[in-house]
Copies of this chain bind each other. A is one copy, B any other.
Amino acid sequence: MARQGRRGQRKTRGAGRFKQPPWRRISNPYKPIEVLREEQVKQIHEASLTVLEDLGLEFLDDQALDILDKAGADVDHKTKLVRFDRGLITQSIATAPSQFTIHARNPARNIIMGGNHVNFSPVGSPPNCSDIDNGRRPGTYEDYCNFLRIAHSLNIIHIVSGYPVEPVDIAPAVRHLDAYYGYITLTDRAWHPYSLGHDRISDGIDMLCIARGIDREQLKSEPSLVSVINTNSPLRVDGPMLQGMMEMVRHGQPPVVTPFTLSGAMAPVTIAGALAQQNAEALAVIALTQMINPGCPVIYGGFTSNVDMKSGAPAFGTPEYSKAALAGGQLARRYNLPYRSSNVNAANLVDAQAAYESEMSIWAAVMGHANLVMHGTGWLEGGLTASFEKMIIDAEMLQMMAAFLEPIEVTDATLGIEAMADVGPGGHFFGTAHTLERYETAFYEPIVSDWRNFETWEEHGSQTATQRANGVWKQILEEYEPPPLDDDKDEALKDFIARRKRDGGAIAA
């Protein structure tokens, strides 16, 4: 591990092992920010039902069409267009649970989706990766594994919801087998198989069952996998996504239904319109999950952003994005569904833009009460690149947000009137008993931020946050230890992978 990179540059933050706050489940004690008034939420809700009733959605899979037909939707099997009575939508989605547990291989890493719970995951699916030593390049399996090692080592990561980088050096048909093996052996978190046809989900389920030592029956009552279902906006769901989704849902595993409604391109140029379309697409697919398996857990995903109208380039972490992310939370709560948002930006390197666009996303996700914040660490370039340094910078930003969500404790002891009396006018609190009892845990301790004065910082090499982050991820890789896995499970996984590779892997989707 950690073969790339110059080891001599590590440990810029002083001797000793990498220090961070402990792993814990996070919940948001504050009220969500509401950017829509109650009647506006209703208007968007009604508009999306009108879209489903009058315009409909294309479902490019015959099996899905049969299920929709049987459930009472108005299906045109030739054009594959499906229209939904508004009552059918609201009745169908009502069976989806508002909260559920996702089981990890390490039960201490089980997490809760729903309510005020907040879970962070690393970036998913970029084709490229980068670090400041070697620059930008297509992802390899070695990069993939290193990102997973870092994700496993970061206590702010709750779940791995996608390949942190595509290991493009492995053939597409068998890539998922090695990738899932990486998830299982390098991390102890719950993970994400891809809904690109039936096989990649089915293989994921088999490998998950081996790793957890359970069978498919037990899995049905213990959600352990998530898989993103993107609609092909506008108003279309493609076949491989549907096939993967149906396999997930039959086994009680939660899809993360996420329309990619880029305002001005795949959705109306107005945020209200993009939200109405997002909501229509999400509700239709969520309705289908419940027609297949009533009560199956499912997550409402919002990913509405806008394009640069001059170039058509997608933008992220914009003001419009933040409003849409907060509005998405209001819509998900209207349906009592867990909500997924993201930490995204459109910067080409880890600079101030990357940070401020990310913060616009993070604040909106967290204060929109997103339960799953995808792409939490490492995302760059609108998702085209996973950055090793951004993994660390983002971890810092997410940890700060987690600390922000710890409520202020107000008691006679914390109000500290006695300490003020001790110190008196013009005094200093460093040495008082009140301080000495608390100073070690009083404040958030950063992993990247440098608070030394200018002169000291300059003496130590004038490093940017990104350069310091480079030292941090190398130290993490250096210190990385894989989570324990029984030898027999490891053997069984290897056997399964060998057999499936002999079979040719996933059938082309």
Residues of A within 8 A of B (CB): 30-31, 33-36, 40, 43-44, 47, 50-51, 54-55, 57-58, 81, 136, 232, 234-236, 263-273, 275-277, 306-309, 311-315, 318-320, 322-323, 327, 346-360, 363, 367, 381, 384-385, 393, 396-397, 400-401, 403-404, 406-411, 413-417, 419-421, 423-430, 434-435, 438-440, 442-444, 448-454, 457-458, 462, 464-466
Q: Please determine whether A356 and B357 come into contact, CB atoms closer than 8 angstroms.
A: no
Give the residues in chain B near A354, CB-CB below 8 Å. Answer: 352
Q: A33-B30, A415-B47, A435-B268 are in contact. Are A393 and B273 (CB under 8 A)?
A: no
Once A236-B425, A357-B449, A427-B234 are accepted as A-B contacts, the answer to whether A417 and B352 lie under 8 Å apart by CB is no
Question: Which B residues touch A450, using CB under 8 A?
Answer: 347-348, 353
Q: Which residue of B lies closest to A273 (CB)?
A: B416
Residues on B with C-beta less than 8 A from A417 are: 47, 50-51, 54-55, 273, 276
- 20 A-B residue contacts at CB 8 Å? A55-B424, A234-B423, A235-B425, A236-B426, A263-B442, A268-B414, A268-B435, A269-B434, A269-B438, A269-B442, A270-B409, A273-B417, A309-B442, A312-B430, A323-B404, A346-B451, A348-B450, A348-B454, A356-B358, A363-B363
Answer whether A318 and B443 are a contact pair too, CB < 8 Å, given A426-B235, A429-B267: yes
The reply to whether A351 and B465 form a contact with Cβ atoms under 8 Å apart is: yes
Chain B residues whose C-beta falls within 8 Å of the C-beta of A268 in the assembled complex: 414-416, 419-420, 429, 434-435
Can you tell how many copies of this chain the complex includes? Answer: 2
A276 contacts which chain B residues (CB < 8 A)? 415-417, 420
Known: A264-B443, A435-B264, A438-B270. A453 touches B408 (CB 8 A): no
- Interfacial chain B residues near A275, Cβ < 8 Å: 408
Q: A136-B454, A309-B440 are in contact. List 9 more A-B contacts (CB 8 A).
A: A51-B417, A55-B424, A266-B428, A268-B416, A273-B419, A277-B416, A311-B451, A313-B452, A359-B359
Contact: B442 with A306, CB < 8 Å?
Answer: yes
The smallest C-beta distance from A233 to any residue of chain B, in angstroms, reads: 9
- Given A266-B429, A313-B451, A318-B443, the answer on whether A466 and B352 have CB atoms closer than 8 Å is yes
| Cβ–Cβ contact B269 & A435, under 8 A | yes
Contact partners of A265 in chain B: CB under 8 A: 428-430
CA distance A451 to B357 in the complex (A): 11
Is the Cβ of B43 less than 8 Å from the Cβ of A410? yes
4 closest Cβ contacts across the A-B interface? Answer: A273-B416, A268-B416, A359-B359, A319-B403
**Residues A356 and B397 in contact, CB atoms below 8 Å apart:** yes
Given A356-B356, A417-B51, A443-B315, check contact A33 B367 (CB 8 Å). Answer: yes
Q: Which of A35, A81, A351, A435 has the most CB of B within 10 A?
A: A351
> Chain B nearest CB: distance from A380 CB in Å?
9
